[in-house]
């Protein structure tokens, strides 16, 4: 297992999110990634390397150029507009019934390119966001060229980001960018298996009309949980993509025993699709001790989860998504990766 990591994620810090009548520190904090890398080093889990720098065209295969330009310049425009707040965030979002327009105001553009207010921009955000995508692309390169497993230790995460909308702590969809890069480099099909607690709405929407990328997601039922407006079981893809999107909404309180059966069913879809590699969007917020969620997966279960994915018998690119039990995220990641690597 080769892990790809950069300390540039630390530039994306000081994020705030609404909490009751106030703002509080976002659970999507630098300690998440710092603790994962420390746990990997303690466990002696394989080789570490920094990301290569990729052309932006790898990113615009999945996102629009306008959206990427917006993300790159949002903080400068926020400052040029004389805004004082440390977090650039929208107050008004484009919704059905409103006109889909890119306003001149940075406040307006923040709302055009986001679907919620949980993905603010701070001074160092863009560099961290861009490096996170480079990490995923480097992981894709490793899997492609060596047919070995790789771990893209991405932060910020990506699976909620759609073609041109940020949200849910996500800006660029790292897993989707990696999957597209693997297709462009010659793999005829790729499966993306999303095991984050939350539905990977961005990944689903990006590939919804495609039959060369199978998207499969296990997640808390969106009738009860974020992101609420996507992730239901009747969303199966459209056009030639029909049948290539599979959602498993699970009840709040799901424990490993039920999760395991659902995972085995999901892995059946991947097997029948028969891709040369799989991208796993690894959210560790299914953990029983996660302060923000309501599933009951334990540390030892992640080892078994990794083993079951290993049983596909194809190279695995694991891309880090959520996970907010900061003290446990490192050991949970180690357990999963050990399972994937058969250790
Ligand atoms: Zn999540």
* Residue 142 confidence (pLDDT): 98
For ligand 1, a single-atom ion, the residues with CB < 5 A are: 196-198, 283, 285, 322
- The alpha carbon of 322 and the centre of ligand 1 are apart by a number of angstroms equal to 4
- The alpha carbon of 151 and the centre of ligand 1 are apart by a number of angstroms equal to 18
Q: Structural domain boundaries of the chain?
A: 2-64+122-341
- The alpha carbon of 24 and the centre of ligand 1 are apart by a number of angstroms equal to 18
* Residue 55 confidence (pLDDT): 98
* Residue 46 confidence (pLDDT): 83
- The alpha carbon of 170 and the centre of ligand 1 are apart by a number of angstroms equal to 10
CATH of 2-64+122-341, one of 3.40.50.11540, 3.40.50.1820, 3.30.1370.160, 3.40.800.20: 3.40.800.20
The count of C-alpha atoms lying within 13 angstroms of the C-alpha of 260, restricted to the half-sphere facing its C-beta, is: 15
* Residue 219 confidence (pLDDT): 98
Q: Which residues are catalytic?
A: 160
* Mean confidence (pLDDT) of the chain: 98
Strand order in the sheet with 245-250: 47-49, 2-4, 150-152, 316-320, 278-282, 190-194, 213-220, 245-250
- The alpha carbon of 56 and the centre of ligand 1 are apart by a number of angstroms equal to 26
Three-state DSSP string of the chain:
CEEECCHHHHHCCCCEEEECCEEEECCCCHHHHHHHHHHHHHCCCCEEECCCCCCHHHCCCCCCHHHHHHHHHHHHHHHHCCCCCCCECCCCCCCCCCCCCCCCCHHHHHHHCECCCCCCECCCHHHHHHHHHHHHHHHHHHHHHHCCCEEECCCCCCCCCECCEEECCECCCHHHHHHHHHHHCCCCCEEEEECCCCCCHHHHHHHCCCCCEEEEEEEECCCCCCCCCCCCCCCCCCHHHCCCEEEEEECCCCEHHHHHHHHHHHHHHHHHHCCCCEEEEECCCCECCCCCCCCEECHHHHHHHHHHHHCCCCCEEEEECCCCCCCCHHHHHHHHHHHHHCC
pLDDT tens figures, 160-180? 999 999 999 999 999 999 999
pLDDT tens figures, 5-49? 999 999 999 999 999 999 999 999 999 999 999 999 999 998 999
Cα-trace Rg, the chain: 19
- The alpha carbon of 321 and the centre of ligand 1 are apart by a number of angstroms equal to 7
* Residue 169 confidence (pLDDT): 98
pTM: 0.98
- The alpha carbon of 161 and the centre of ligand 1 are apart by a number of angstroms equal to 12
Q: Beta 190-194 vs 16-19: how paired, if at all?
A: unpaired
**pLDDT tens, position by position, for the chain (343 residues)?**
999 999 999 999 999 999 999 999 999 999 999 999 999 999 999 899 999 999 999 999 999 999 999 999 999 999 999 999 999 999 999 999 999 999 999 999 999 999 999 999 999 999 999 999 999 999 999 999 999 999 999 999 999 999 999 999 999 999 999 999 999 999 999 999 999 999 999 999 999 999 999 999 999 999 999 999 999 999 999 999 999 999 999 999 999 999 999 999 999 999 999 999 999 999 999 999 999 999 999 999 999 999 999 999 999 999 999 999 999 999 999 999 999 999 8
- The alpha carbon of 108 and the centre of ligand 1 are apart by a number of angstroms equal to 27
Question: Tokens 């039922």 map to which residue?
Answer: 221
What is the spatial distance between Cα 34 and Cα 24, in angstroms, rounded to a whole number?
21
């Amino acid at each position: 297992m080769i892990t790809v990591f950069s300390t540039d994620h630390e530039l994306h810090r000081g994020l705030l999110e609404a909490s009751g009548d106030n703002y509080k520190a976002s659970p999507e904090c630098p300690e998440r990634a710092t603790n994962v890398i420390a746990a990997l080093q303690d466990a002696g889990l394989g080789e570490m390397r920094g990301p290569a720098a990729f052309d932006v065209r790898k990113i615009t295969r999945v996102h629009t150029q306008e959206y990427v330009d917006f993300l790159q310049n949002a903080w400068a425009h926020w400052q040029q507009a004389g805004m004082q707040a440390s977090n650039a965030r929208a107050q008004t979002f484009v919704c059905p019934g409103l006109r889909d327009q890119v306003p001149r105001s940075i406040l307006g553009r923040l709302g055009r390119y986001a679907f919620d207010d949980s993905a603010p921009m701070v001074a160092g955000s863009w560099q961290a966001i861009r490096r996170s995508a480079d990490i995923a692309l480097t992981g894709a390169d490793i899997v492609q060229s060596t047919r070995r497993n790789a771990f893209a230790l991405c932060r910020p995460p990506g699976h909620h980001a759609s073609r041109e909308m940020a949200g849910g702590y996500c800006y660029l969809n790292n897993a989707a960018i990696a999957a597209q890069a693997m297709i462009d480099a010659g793999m005829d099909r790729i499966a993306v298996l999303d095991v984050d607690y939350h539905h990977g709405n961005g990944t689903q929407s990006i590939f919804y009309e495609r039959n060369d990328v199978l998207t499969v997601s296990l997640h808390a039922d969106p009738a009860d949980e974020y992101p609420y407006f996507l992730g239901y079981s009747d969303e199966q893809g459209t056009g030639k993509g029909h049948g290539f999107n599979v959602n498993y909404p699970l009840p709040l309180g799901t424990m490993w025993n039920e999760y395991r059966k659902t995972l085995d069913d999901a892995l059946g879809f991947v097997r029948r699709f028969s891709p040369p590699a799989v991208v796993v969007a690894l959210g560790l917020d299914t953990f029983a001790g996660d302060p923000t969620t309501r599933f009951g997966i334990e540390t030892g279960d992640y080892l078994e989860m990794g083993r079951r994915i290993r049983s596909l018998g194809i190279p695995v690119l694991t891309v880090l998504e959520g996970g907010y039990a900061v003290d446990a995220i490192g050991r949970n990641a180690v357990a999963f990766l050990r399972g994937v690597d058969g250790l």
